[in-house]
Amino acid sequence: MLNTDMVLSKAIGPNRRDRPVCDFNTCPISARTGSIVQEYADNPQTFLNDFAAVYTKMIETCARDAGGNPIRDPARGACTLEPLITATSGGGGGNVASPPPPPSPKPPSPKPPPPLPCKINRRTGKCRRANRG
């Protein structure tokens, strides 16, 4: 089971310090979702059928931009879930506009000109460069 499955199947809630009040073995079955989790665990085909129906609806509905327009893959004209995936994985949730494209790579910096020859000042030990002009 995944952590999400466990939280859906058990009534695991936080205490006043946001710590679980019980662990997986001692928490009771969730009254709201425990029976649904058990049904899917007992009947994997039921889960697959329900998942397929919801996934199909999600694909047909399309993710939407801020203006409510469907976002489609320009190459195929089909709906895309990329903005939806980006938004939900970042914690934003919901339908959002497409993320901006990555920045173009910067051209390499030009090489600095080679140093001019210099003459060492015998008194100071410093290099005296000739004029570039």
CB-CB contact of 79 with 69 (8 Å): no
pTM for the model stands at 0.43
> Residue 86 above 60 pLDDT?
no
Backbone conformation region of residue 87, classed left if phi is above 0, alpha if psi is from -120 to 50, else beta: alpha
| Mean pLDDT rounded to a whole number for the chain | 74
> Residue 89 above 60 pLDDT?
no
Place 42 in a pLDDT band, splitting at 50, 70 and 90.
very high
- Model confidence over 90-131: pLDDT tens digits? 444 444 455 566 777 777 888 877 766 777 777 877 777 665
